[in-house]
Amino acid sequence: MNIKCLIIDDEPLAIQLIEDYISKTYFLELGCSTTNPIEGLRKVEEEKFDLIFLDIQMPELNGIDFLKILNNKANVILTTAYSDFALESYDYGVIDYLLKPISYERFYKSILKAREKFSQIFFQEDSNIENNFFFVKCDGKRIKVHFSDILYIEGLRDYVNVKTLTDELIILENLKDLEKVVPHHFMRIHKSYIVNLQRITSVVGNKIFIENQAINIGETYKNSFQNWLKSQ
């Protein structure tokens, strides 16, 4: 699941640069680009974009007025040659303010801020361990997941695959952070796996089985798993 981007800038060369940077960044995806802010508004109404790169000084509709109309419907990084609007822009919840010319290093730091905002695990007052569920953001929706329905969680670089009884949810998270929030009947048994101990159907040698899925027990995690097994 990549972060889908929209570029709005009246300068074609500026668009080409951001398009190039997006193509170099594995977790970004170019959805659309336009030199017309009015067209950009139409695109936002018609399509779901995770992140907008928005110029400020544009004919017909400037970036600040665009933000006012947008009304926090999307996450925005401003790209502009002018620093005058920096303070005002943060009143509209922009993630970052990039001054042209934009280096890839500065661009990358900015999108890392955006990615942090896209953390896709949501714990709220009514969604916590005591209530046995949490919410994940997947395909633009918040999906309720019961801990008891989870079979295992597999780490996939910067993403995790939450395997449940009925579905697989690929979300932008990491195992280290998830390990801190799952209930006590979950255990990390491999650098790439956290398993629901209540869902283990058998243990054969150095492998556990959950339904038909075999998962190796990592050397680092072997002792803690064996201690748990002996206590059962």
Residue 180 has pLDDT above 80, yes or no: no
Cα–Cα distance between 213 and 199 in angstroms, integer?
A: 11
Confidence class for position 215, pLDDT limits 50, 70, 90: very high
23-37, 46-60, 85-99, range with the lowest pLDDT: 85-99
Cα dihedral 19→23→27→28 (10° resolution): 20
CA 226 to chain centre: 34
* Mean pLDDT, residues 172-185: 79
Structural domain spans, the chain = 3-117, 126-230
Beta bridge partners of 51: 5, 75
pLDDT greater than 90 at residue 1: no
Q: What is the mean pLDDT of residues 58-77?
A: 87
CATH of domain 3-117: 3.40.50.2300
What lies within 8 Å, CB to CB, of 62 at 6+ separation is 37, 56
Distance CA 66, CA 13 (A): 21
Query: Residue 66: pLDDT band by 50, 70, 90 thresholds?
Result: very high
Give Cβ neighbours of residue 122 (< 8 Å, ≥ 6 apart). 134, 135, 136, 137, 142
Going from the C-alpha of 42 to that of each of 34, 48, 49, 96, 176, the distances in angstroms are 11, 11, 12, 23, 40
Does the pTM of the predicted model rise above 0.75?
A: no
pLDDT greater than 50 at residue 99: yes
Average pLDDT of the residues of the chain? 86
pLDDT in tens, 106-130: 999 999 888 766 655 554 434 444 5
CATH of the structural domain 126-230, one choice from 3.40.640.10, 1.10.8.60, 2.160.10.10, 2.40.50.1020: 2.40.50.1020
Beta carbons within 8 Å of 199's beta carbon, 6+ residues apart:
150, 151, 152, 210, 211
